[in-house]
Each structure stands twice: as structure tokens, then as C-alpha cells.
Amino acid sequence: MAAHILAIDQGTSATKCILVDAAGRMVAKATAPLSEYLPLPGWVEQDAEEIWQSVLQAVQACLAQVSGVPGVQVAGVGISTQRESALVWQRSDGRAVTPLLSWQDQRTVALRDRLSTDAVEKMVRERSGLPLDPMFSALKLAWLLDEFDPQREQARSGNWCAGTVDAYLLGRLGADFVTEVGNASRTQLLNVHTGDWDADLLALFGIPRQLLPRVHASRGVFATADKLHPALEGVPVLSVMADSHSALFAHGGFEPGQVKATLGTGSSVMALAPSGVAHHPGMCLTIAWDAGQGPVLALEGNIRAAGATLRWLADLFEMPLDDAVELASRSASNGVCLVPGFNGLGAPWWDTQAVGLVSGLTLSAGKSALMAAGLESIAHQVADVIDAMDQSVPGMRKLYLDGGPSRNPRLLDMLAGYISRPVVQCADPELSALGVAHLAGLQAGVWDWAGLKALARAQNDVPSTLAAAEVAASRHNWSHAVARARLRG
Ligand SMILES: O=P(O)(O)OC[C@H](O)CO
């Protein structure tokens, strides 16, 4: 029997499940789609029960692909999850008592503004490593408690649990009430320098300590996977990671100069943080993982809308997403710029008041120019973050890419041009699942650190074909459009 690792990637638009063999190859893969609910402008919710069911479906569909195949034995399970999205559930049975407020949800802008003073912003930034922003879990949990438990009676009673998707899923598996340290560092309640909840941050957001899980390293024995599938009875869950962090792990990004961009609904540009270098204020300081050697810090720039922009354009023009992406890829923007400030702008601006904007319209600008501008906006936003990253992480020679949109040659060409460096395309874009599989394999003894680093990572360096003048004109146009999107009236 050959040891395999099953890994689950619970993301915003789908839950994916992969099976990895002892050589690190993906031998099976399945996806279960998920809904998002938009009850009011700026509000984005998901249903926790639906998330759990999508996990079960993805595992079932993945294992069905190897049913009857001799020699497959699952030695361990890894779980990576979407980050920052937060909810409250009952300790007794793990059932949600609130909706999941998505990382994209902006309903807490007013609460943010009420809390914001220079001193508070500084304290929050120093302790949590993150700007005070509605994307992170703290404001979401404050809002949920104000709505569902204004006196904090349940929150203090021990009957309720609050946290991110990793802790919720572990609860459904029957694990102790724990959260993984990388996920915890995205709540804005954790002190990134101590790796534990920060009393002043808890007080600021009105979150009782009893409501929160114990913080756990990224590897260990979290639970057994019995509830996932009958074939997994007694199989341990050996690793948990935040999805973007897991992708960095899968790239083998163990040195600060190795920078990756995960392109998904939003986008995350991340590298391990070099010690002793002051970082650009547009970058977040976050805990990447604790793979057994203590918490490791990373720098990250979060982009709110990447694939989400293409989905919005597809809906606007009532086209299937694939057709919209195809049209965007073969069209020219002809000077049209689309700044996707649907929910303000994230890194490197962190401007909740920035607006969505289209500039450079002419009478001949139509659907195809807008589509092309939407695709270009992904490359421009990543390039803006790389400009900030260059000031914090010296020595970046190329940009490693993953996520669905990293399959798009036109996007890669623009990205390589805008950052003046090659981009690296991986053979399989599903790295958020692969990284946590690697860590589970390390814990299971399928490979050691040397073996993990030596695992084959099929990659392809893509240089840009864009002329320097074209790049300069496009970047110039974009920076003007961003300035307009950030203008205060
Ligand atoms: O669901 P994804 O893959 O778009 O990732 C969501 C991120 O973790 C949000 O920070």
C-alpha cells in the first residue's frame, strides 16, 4: 500500500479536494461549487452548512475517482481554508448561529470609521500587523455579536464559539476548539509578535476571550477524518493552513526573495518577511505558518477584486464567464481603464472610500475594451503591490503564480511586462490544496524537509512580449485612473 495525502481547499467560490501520492503528484481532484449571498450592497455572506456539505461532496467525488484502485492508502488529511471570513457557532453541535460574513463583506465600514483614530490605527497595525479594515475578522465578529448577542451573554457563557472557517470545520469534525495560527493572524485579534490573542485588541473590538479558540501550530494531530467519508475512518487530520499561505508553501517559497501571487476571487501577493527590514505601509505583516519551528512571518498585499472583476463583467454583459475571459484576452482596452474599487481598494492603498471607476471612454469603446480593461486591472493591481513589495523584500527575480487566472497567457504577458520580470506558471494552479498536502505529508512522515523541498515543481518561466513604451503608457494611464478613484469630493 502506498501512502497518499488527501487535501481539502475550502475556498470562496468552491471547495476542492485533491489526492497526492508519495511523489507529490496529484492523482485525483474534485470540486464542489459554493454560493455567495449579497443581501444588501457591500454585504457578502455564505452559509456555513453549505460550506460543510461542499467539503463532504468534494471529498466524496475525489475518493470516488480512486475507488477500487489498488495500493491507495490515505495516511493523512490536510485542510486549507479561505481566510478572514468569520462566523459564530454552537459549541454543543458545531452548528452555525450566524451567517458567515465573507472576507469581501464591507458592512463594517461605519464601525471601522467610528473606532478609527491615529492612536488606534497605530496600535492595531503594530499588534496585528494589519491595517484597521473591514476585510479582517475582528470587525465582522464585533458586528455579529452586536446583532446576535448585544450584551455578550452567550459570548461569555461558553456556549458559543467564534472564529474562521478552519476552526468551524475542525469543530464539525469533532476536534478540540482550536484555530491554526496563520488563519488566526488574519483575524486582527492576534498579536503577530507573540502568536496569541491580544487583550487590547479583544477589548477594542468587544470580543470576549472565551469565545475564541486556542491557537494551534499548522501541523499536529487535529482530529480524525471519520466524519468526512467512511474510507477515512481513523485517518488523522495532520495539517491546517490558510489558503494563500498554503500556496506559498507549495511553491517552495521558503526564502524571502521568493514572491508568489495567488489569483482567485481576489489576489494575494506574499513572501516570507526578511528580518530587520522596515516594510512598506501598504503591506500586511502576517504569520505564514508554524510548521514545527515556531511561527514564520510573511509580508502580504491583498487585492480585493481579481477574478471577481471578470465575473462582474460577465454578469453585466450577460455572458458565460469563459466567453467573457476569452473576449478580454483577445481585445485591446484602447486607453480604457477599469479600477475595480467595488469595495474600496486593498493593498497597497487600503482605501475604503475609493470607488469603482471606468476612465478613458470614447464613443468607440464597447464591450471588448471594457473586458480587456478588466483583465488589465488584475495585472496592474499586482504590479502596484510588487512595487511596494520591492521596497520591503529585496532580491525578487521572478513572480510565482497560482490560481485559475494564472492559466491565461495574455494576463501573464501583461504581468511580466508591468513588473519587468518573468512570471512563473505552475503545471497545476491548485496550489492552496497542494501546500497543505505537503505539510500533512511532512507530519505523516511521507517525506522529510529535504524530500519536501526536492519534490518536483513543474514550472515554466514566462517573459513578456510587451514593448517598454507600451508598458510605460499603460502604467501611466492606470496610475491616473487610480488617483481619480481615490479622489475625495
Ligand atoms: O477563496 P479564495 O481562494 O479567493 O481566497 C480567499 C482569501 O483567503 C481571502 O483572503
- The stretch 402-418 carries a mean pLDDT of 94
Q: What cell numbers appear for 404 in the block?
A: 485559475
Element (H, E) at 239: strand 236-242
DSSP letter string over 105-138?
--TTHHHHHHH--HHHHHHHHHHHSS-S-TTSHH
* Least reliable range by pLDDT among 85-89, 278-282, 283-287: 278-282
Average pLDDT over the chain, rounded to an integer: 95
11 Cα nearest atom in ligand 1: 1
> Which CATH architecture does the domain made up of 251-426+458-489 adopt?
2-Layer Sandwich (3.30)
- The stretch 319-334 carries a mean pLDDT of 97
Q: What is the C-alpha separation between 267 and 123, in angstroms, rounded?
A: 26
Which residue has the CA at smallest separation from atom 6 of ligand 1?
82
Q: Do 2-242 and 251-426+458-489 share a fold? A: yes
As to burial, measured by CB atoms within 10 angstroms (0-12 exposed, 13-18 middle, 19+ buried), residue 381 is buried
Q: What is the 82 CA–ligand 1 centroid distance (Å)? A: 5
Provide the pLDDT for residue 221. Answer: 97
Please, are residues 263 and 306 in contact by the beta-carbon 8 Å criterion?
A: yes
* Least reliable range by pLDDT among 163-177, 192-206, 277-291, 328-342: 277-291
9 Cα nearest atom in ligand 1: 3
Q: What is the C-alpha separation between 40 and 37, in angstroms, rounded?
A: 9
Q: Is the per-residue pLDDT at 69 higher than 90?
A: no
- Give which of 136, 145, 209 is closest to 177, Cα–Cα: 209
186 Cα nearest atom in ligand 1: 10
- How are beta strands 219-224 and 236-242 bridged, if at all? antiparallel
Pocket probe mutation, ligand 1, options 265, 287, 343, 430, max atoms within 8 Å of Cβ: 265
307 Cα nearest atom in ligand 1: 4
pLDDT tens sequence across 173-199: 999 999 999 999 999 999 999 999 999
Q: What is the 383 CA–ligand 1 centroid distance (Å)? A: 19
Please tell me the number of Cα atoms within 13 Å of 41 on its side-chain side.
3
- Domain spans of the chain, in order of start: 2-242, 251-426+458-489
- The stretch 150-155 carries a mean pLDDT of 94
pLDDT tens sequence across 252-276: 999 888 999 999 889 999 999 988 7
Pocket probe mutation, ligand 1, options 79, 187, 244, max atoms within 8 Å of Cβ: 244
- How are beta strands 423-426 and 399-402 bridged, if at all? parallel
Q: Is the per-residue pLDDT at 376 higher than 70?
A: yes
Which residue has the CA at smallest separation from atom 3 of ligand 1?
11
- The stretch 337-341 carries a mean pLDDT of 97
Provide the pLDDT for residue 277. Answer: 74
Q: Is the per-residue pLDDT at 456 higher than 90?
A: no
Give 1's pLDDT tier (boundaries 50, 70, 90): low
| Structure-derived torsion over alpha carbons of residues 377, 383, 387, 388, reported in degrees to the nearest 10 | 60
* Topology at the third CATH level for domain 2-242: Nucleotidyltransferase; domain 5 (3.30.420)
**What percent of the chain clears pLDDT 90, i.e. is strictly above it?**
89
Element (H, E) at 103: none
Q: What is the 243 CA–ligand 1 centroid distance (Å)? A: 7
Pocket probe mutation, ligand 1, options 9, 10, 55, 83, max atoms within 8 Å of Cβ: 83
Helices within 68-213 (DSSP H only): 109-115, 118-128, 137-148, 153-157, 165-172, 181-184, 199-205
pLDDT tens sequence across 284-313: 999 999 999 999 999 999 999 999 999 999
Provide the pLDDT for residue 2. Answer: 81
Of 280 and 326, the structure prediction assigns the larger pLDDT to 326
Of 279 and 43, the structure prediction assigns the larger pLDDT to 43
Q: What is the pTM of this model?
A: 0.94
Residues 6+ apart with CB under 8 A from 314: 320, 321, 323, 324, 325
Which residue has the CA at smallest separation from atom 10 of ligand 1?
83
Q: What value does the CA radius of gyration of the chain take, rounded to a whole number of Å?
A: 22
Q: What cell numbers appear for 463 in the block?
A: 517573459
Q: What is the C-alpha separation between 78 and 434, in angstroms, rounded?
A: 9
Residues with CB under 6 A from ligand 1: 11-12, 82-84, 103, 243-244, 264-266
Q: What cell numbers appear for 213 in the block?
A: 479558540
